[in-house]
Amino acid sequence: MSVDSGQVFTKGIWQENPVFVQVLGMCPVLAVSNTATNSLAMGLATAFVLVMSSTLVSWLRPVIPRQIRIASYILIIATFVTAVDYGIQAVSVELHKALGAFISLIVVNCIILGRAEAFASKHGVWDAIKDAAGMGLGFTIGLFCLGGVRELLGAGSLFGYAVFGDRFEPWILMILPPGGFFTMAAWLFVINLRKEARIASLKARKTLEETRHAT
């Protein structure tokens, strides 16, 4: 049961990043990442639901019978999502309009159910909170990476503030749906390149050592 506590938190941010490594919960990632603000809000909303539902799942773990666990998790998640939905509406109607149905659709985000089933249902409350917080943060960072790039290229601004001068011609395709697919492909490509470079350098080091041993 004992897990390295720091690792539990950081693995969601980097090694097992839900967006770029696990490629989970793609629907909201692509749909609401057209501006940096939207993507950040969506990320935080998802992270909140993730942390709260993981806590409750882990806490109620001895009570929930195994046979109906998935249904119970979904009910728990749906409750928090409804709370978030009304919360965002209370804070900013404009933001609520921009995110639209995608707030409600957090319910069927595979990351949340995935963490509830794979981690929270098997570990203590404290570990579950840390895991959920790490995953939530990783998800937010992933969303922000996409949203930032798309807003920068598609509207020439970041968080609504103009970055480039007046002479910048916005690349409108990037804020439209195809831009989401292309930006995601570009990020995954960068990550793949990095991975390949690391594997190549490891291999090179190994052969170097082997030749050194041989001589």
- Outline where DSSP puts E strands in 41-167: 157-158, 161-162
| Closest distance of CB 20 from another protein, Å | 10
| Closest distance of CB 41 from another protein, Å | 17
Q: Any bridge partners for residue 157, and if so which?
A: 162
Q: Which is nearer to another protein, 36 or 84 (CB)?
A: 84
26 is written with which tokens?
Answer: 């793609």
Q: Which is nearer to another protein, 50 or 133 (CB)?
A: 50
Q: Which is nearer to another protein, 95 or 188 (CB)?
A: 188
The residue ranges that bind another protein (CB under 8 A) are: 23-24, 26-28, 30-31, 71, 74-75, 78-79, 81-82, 85-86, 101, 104-105, 107-110, 113, 173, 176-182, 184-185, 188-189, 192-193, 196
69 is written with which tokens?
Answer: 């666990």
Burial class (CB within 10 angstroms; exposed 0-12, middle 13-18, buried 19+) of 160: exposed
| Closest distance of CB 137 from another protein, Å | 22
Q: Which residues contact 150 (CB under 8 A, 6 or more apart)?
A: 33, 34, 35, 174, 175, 179, 180, 183
| Closest distance of CB 102 from another protein, Å | 9
